[in-house]
Every structure is written in structure tokens, then in C-alpha cells.
Amino acid sequence: MAIIESPLFPSLLYLLLVAGIWLTALAVVNPGTGALEILALAALGGVALGTIYVPFNAWALIVLVLGGVLFIASLRLPRPEIWLSLSALALSVGSVFLFQPAGGGVAVHPLIALSVSLLTLGYFWWAIRSAINAQRARPTMDPDRVIGEIAEVRTELNPVGSVYAWGELWTARSEGRVKVGKRVKVVDREGLMLLVETEEEAE
């Protein structure tokens, strides 16, 4: 219980919350094996448990929800960079002020809050924006062109992972477990997910 009673506990919860936000955003724009989703859920679940011991500001929670809505808007509306910037700003502000210390004020150390907020803005602008732009550009290539082609497994298929084909990384699913580096044949697709078989199964 010593760590819970420590004045640093709200800052630790804040860092866990930001980690959950980063992982959630990455999982949405780059779906794959489900590992990111599990890690994001674990981080956000830990934050939820932490609110048992640290009070939270309702208005900051509303700002966080608004940040999530703006993030969804960046995936669906034109000019995603505008919505993404607003989302990152709202998520940064909401996460900094979410936890409320007993004596009032800001629970998170100002230096930590400033540093992490700048990192979050940069992460959303470069990493997440690039992933969104790549997603939007992908339909310019007909996904059916990869059917029948040989792909290389880049993330283990168990049964979902990623494969490399036609110069792009694709989410793929197989009937069984396929290790990294193995070659598989694309037999069909469901949306942007490829259905693959090992070369032995395809013969």
C-alpha cells in the first residue's frame, strides 16, 4: 500500500493512462495480432482501479471522451490532421487534470505533465497521422491483386498476424500457427484482411 499512499501515485496513474491512450490509438490504426489491444485494456483497466484510491475530475473525463470522439473523426472525416491535432490536445489536457489530489491543484508533477504532453502531441502527429494516411492511401491499390500471390510472414500468424506482399504490410489470418519468416499463399481476403495458407497446404 506504500506506493498507493505515495504522492507520486497520481503521476504513475497518469503515465499508465497515457500509455493506454497511445496503445489504443496504435491498435485502432494498425490492427494486428490483438497484443496491442490487450496491453491497452490492461493499462486502462489499471487506471480504472487506481481511481478507487485517487479522486478524479468529471470535467477532465468529459474532455478525454471528447478527445476520443475527435480521434474517431480523424479516421472518417476529411483533413484528418486537424481532427487528430485537436484529439491529441484534448487527450493531453484531460489526462493531466483527470486525477484530483486531496488538497486541490494538479496531481501530476508539472514537468512530467509538460514532457509527456509534448511527446503525446508528437506521437499523434507523426506516428498516428502517418498510419492514418497510409490507411487512406491503401485503397488506391486493388486488394484483389494479392490473391494468389506469395507473402512473407512478418508477425506470427496465430491465427492472426501480418504478412508482407506487394510492397505492403497486410493483416492476415491462417488456419493454424505460422512462424515469422515463413512463406504463405494468399487464397482470399475479407475486407483488408488476407486469408492465407502455408505453401504446403496450398499445394
Last residue of a domain, one of 138, 161, 192: 138
Q: Which domain holds residue 191?
A: 143-202
pLDDT digits 0-9 by tens, 168-189: 889 999 998 999 999 999 999 8
Do 61 and 79 lie in one domain? The reply is: yes
Do 178 and 112 lie in one domain? The reply is: no
Do 131 and 37 lie in one domain? The reply is: yes
How far, rounded to the nearest angstrom, does the alpha carbon of residue 110 sit from its chain's CA centroid? 26
Do 7 and 97 lie in one domain? The reply is: yes
Do 69 and 100 lie in one domain? The reply is: yes
**Parallel/antiparallel/unpaired status of strands 168-173 and 193-198:** parallel
Q: What DSSP line would sit under the chain, residue for residue?
A: -HHHHSTTHHHHHHHHHHHHHHHHHHHHHS--SSHHHHHHHHHHHHHHHHTTTS-B-HHHHHHHHHHHHHHHHHHHSS-HHHHHHHHHHHHHHHHHHSB--TTSS-SS-HHHHHHHHHHHHHHIIIIIHHHHHHHHHGGGS-GGGGTT-EEEEEE-BSSEEEEEETTEEEEEE-SS-B-TT-EEEEEEEETTEEEEEEHHHH-
Task: Please give the pLDDT value at position 203.
Answer: 53
Beta bridge partners of 194: 172, 189
Do 51 and 20 lie in one domain? The reply is: yes
The CATH number assigned to the domain holding 168 equals: 2.40.50.140
Task: Please give the pLDDT value at position 193.
Answer: 87
Average pLDDT estimate for 179-200: 89
Beta bridge partners of 169: 164
Listed in sequence order, the residues at least 6 apart from 170 whose beta carbon sits closer than 8 Å to its beta carbon are: 146, 151, 162, 163, 164, 192, 193, 194
- Count of Cβ atoms closer than 10 Å to residue 53 Cβ: 13
Q: What DSSP line would sit under 119-178, residue for residue?
A: HHHHHIIIIIHHHHHHHHHGGGS-GGGGTT-EEEEEE-BSSEEEEEETTEEEEEE-SS-B
Do 177 and 122 lie in one domain? The reply is: no
- Count of Cβ atoms closer than 10 Å to residue 169 Cβ: 15
Number of domains in the chain: 2
pLDDT band at 5 (very low <50, low <70, confident <90, very high): confident
Do 55 and 93 lie in one domain? The reply is: yes
d(CA 152, CA 145): 16
Check residues 203 and 79 and name the one with the higher pLDDT. 79
Question: What global pTM score does this model have?
Answer: 0.68
- Asked if pLDDT for residue 104 goes beyond 90, the answer is no
